[in-house]
Amino acid sequence: MSTNENEIGSNPEALDASSEPLQQEPLHEPAADNTHRPIRSYVIRAGRYTDAQKVAISEQWDNYVVEYEPRLFSTHELFGNDNPLTVEIGFGMGDSLLEMAIANPQRNFLGIEVHKPGVGKLLHGVAESGLTNVKVFCHDAIDILAHCIGEGCIDTLLIFFPDPWHKKRHNKRRLVQTEFITGLLPLLADAGRIHLATDWEPYAEHMVEAMEAVQGMTNANGAGQFWPVPDRPGTKFERRGIRLGHGVWDLLYTKS
């Protein structure tokens, strides 16, 4: 984790910018100097903190946030046990992750998020609930997945309501791509699951197309089918979509 990120834990008021995941390294676009830089599937946004988030970051950072190092972290090292591991990429404000962790004390939950106010909100909830089955990486998920999680470690991978990148010319920035998911397969345990959700129908169709092209994953609800009654908490994005008259589409795939 960078020096600035370490300073966040001790001085949250020093922060005034944050970002939303993720960066997808296999894709590249030309830079001004004719080199190539990774295409990002997130944008940098200013971040505002509530007082509770500031306090949580200051007081709970060291208890729950794992500093990024380019090395493997075992489940036992992180949690003190070998219970099944659920990983959520881009947990936003952490509401769903917190609810799942409270309801499933026999499972470990690893959240990955670079939006620091969201991390602060989750830390507040985790500390208030006295949970011991939650850890957080406040770092680019691509680095975490590439260097920190061992083969076969993830029982369930969650990607809920990622940025849909509505404009066609930006579709390549979408996180859920066949190449990206294929690269994650070694990290999944036998019969490991990937659960996706979106409230943008074109992205839902894109997800189906991308996932059906992944060799070694099977749609739990039948080829090309969505999950009609998903097993997950509702999210603020879902509620927002419903208010706007949008549908919500979930997909569940199992490693075969």
140 is known as an active-site residue: no
Q: Which amino acid belongs to residue 212?
A: E
Task: Return the biggest CA–CA distance within the chain.
Answer: 51
* DSSP label of 166: -
Cis peptide preceding 22, ω within 30 of 0 = yes
User: By residue range, what is the domain housing residue 160?
Assistant: 3-255
Tell me the per-residue pLDDT of 55-104, one tens digit each, with 9 for 90 and over: 999 999 999 999 999 999 999 999 999 999 999 999 999 999 999 999 99
Q: Which amino acid belongs to residue 231?
A: D
Give the number of other CB atoms < 10 A from CB of residue 94. Answer: 24
CATH of residue 186's domain is 3.40.50.150
Helix pair 95-103, 116-129: axis angle to 10 deg: 20
Catalytic residue among 95, 155, 163, 250: 163
* Residue bearing tokens 């909830």: 125
Contact between 15 and 44 under an 8 Å Cβ cutoff? The reply is: no
Tokens of 160: 């809920």
Q: Would you give per-residue pLDDT tens digits along the chain (256 residues)?
A: 333 333 334 344 344 333 344 344 443 344 444 444 455 555 546 678 999 999 999 999 999 999 999 999 999 999 999 999 999 999 999 999 999 999 999 999 999 999 999 999 999 999 999 999 999 999 999 999 999 999 999 999 999 999 886 677 767 879 999 999 999 999 999 999 999 999 889 999 999 999 999 999 999 999 999 999 999 998 776 787 788 888 999 999 999 9
- Total domain count for the chain? 1
Segment holding 59, helix H or strand E: helix 51-64
